[in-house]
Structure 1
Amino acid sequence: MMVSLGIAGASMLVMAMIFSYILGWANKQFKVQVDPKIEEVIEALPGANCGGCGYLGCSDYAVAIVADNDPVNKCAVGGQACAQAIADIMGVEVGDVVPLHAIVHCNAPVSSRLGMTQYMGEKRCASAQQVAGVQGCTFGCLGFGDCIEVCNYDAIHIVDGLARVDYEKCIGCGACTKACPRGILSVAGFKEEAIPVVACSNKDKAKDAKAVCNNACVGCKACAKESDLFTISDNLSKCNYDDYSAPKYEEAMKAIEKCPTGCIHFMGTR
């Protein structure tokens, strides 16, 4: 009996040694060589894993930079210093880093909304979105704060039923845009401290838009006549943020003044 146990134990030991050797050999033979620059770039990134760069996290972005020559200036959290550090690692020019911030495409506080009903369900935008007739405007902010829950920077708050961005804190990570079931939030590059924004998402015709909100865009084209920054599509004005710079401030102000419902505003830190 003891001899049998000894033989079994010895056999197991020999087999363990053989498998260890095989695994060690396989590890060396099939090891994937990782470019050391990837590790350097990961170290240079802030590790926020916010997804604002368009990738799932900092590691994926680092791989894209090294393997695919992706631009080094996409990290909103790290900003210019981070971009410069990565540029030094990669031996490239950093380029300008345009600050990214969230924009709320709705400017209707509760007092401006028409056709409101009492909602008794779960106080979440995602839940309220599933209920017909929660409010007259099916495009506007629901105001239950799903965007607040996902913001790690305390940069968005609900004031009088409307999401508002704190531009001193917002780094443009885009988490709020993914949380909003109505898609009224977007992220844009701010070439200036403040940029003109069409704060409305209503694509209905003027009569229907005015029936549900006092502040809705009515697609009247008044803004487009004053400035080529604005175009009208689907009954809704849109602003080309990439074309806006300080020299266009005056024409942007003229467009704002001509807007009959006051749905165009400058948003930012100014």
Structure 2
Amino acid sequence: MSEKIGFIGLGNLGLPVATNLIDAGYTLQVYNRTASKAEPLVAKGAQQVTQPADAVTTGGIVVTLLWDGAALENIVTSSGFLEQLGPNGIHISMGTVLPETARKLAAIHEQHGSTYVEAPIFGRPEAAATKKLWIPYTGSQQAKERVQPLLKAMGGQGIFDFGEEVGAATIVKLVGNFLIVSAGYSMREALSMAEKNGVDPQAIVDMLTQTLFPAPIYQSYGRMIAEKSEPFGESEIPLKDVDLLKKTAQQAESPTPISNFLHDLLSTDLN
């Protein structure tokens, strides 16, 4: 591939996604706050840079996969980032943030002649490594056509277009994560009750995921719970994402009784 891609954010999900790009033949310029996390990519030929703006090519494409909206804003407003990206440049944001944050950043990019495309990821790190991610995306049609091959190369087994109104793909991500957390906690409670009553939880998972609930989340999380493996572990991601859904719903004056309850459960589990 002739185009050089910038990639910022090499956490548990960012690293396998960036690795997929290199394996697909793309040349990467990578930045991560903890520099040592870039070593596997450097070994594969990536160029490591010391400042976010140095990962950006004028008129090119830069990908960010960051923890939250604050980290994303810090990168976008860091010295030289938008100036270096410039006219015709595209920023693909793949983290989970508030829709209002996405819209705010899209407007800032537009002021600099560049384009913001939101493309949050559904999938755990192991799904990224096996290229089984689901990616909703939103942005200008021209930008989406340009980045679609990259999204597929990153591991997107399915790319879903939610139009040009930035914020829509982020809402899809918040809804999906909320339903995933809801399903996980419901399965944990139900399978615990079954086991305490002498019924094999794995047998229940096997039956229900072949009949009433033949969905990847019920299959994978149900198996983990039946095997006494906690799907969420000590991760702060579920709490963060449920909190984002609550804030987004409250701004739209949409009721949140279940997400309020989930938020309390998640807060308790982390304490």
TM-score, normalized by the shorter chain, greater than 0.5? no
| TM-score where L is the length of structure 2 | 0.23
Q: Which one scores higher on RCO, CA 8 angstroms, separation ≥ 6?
A: 1
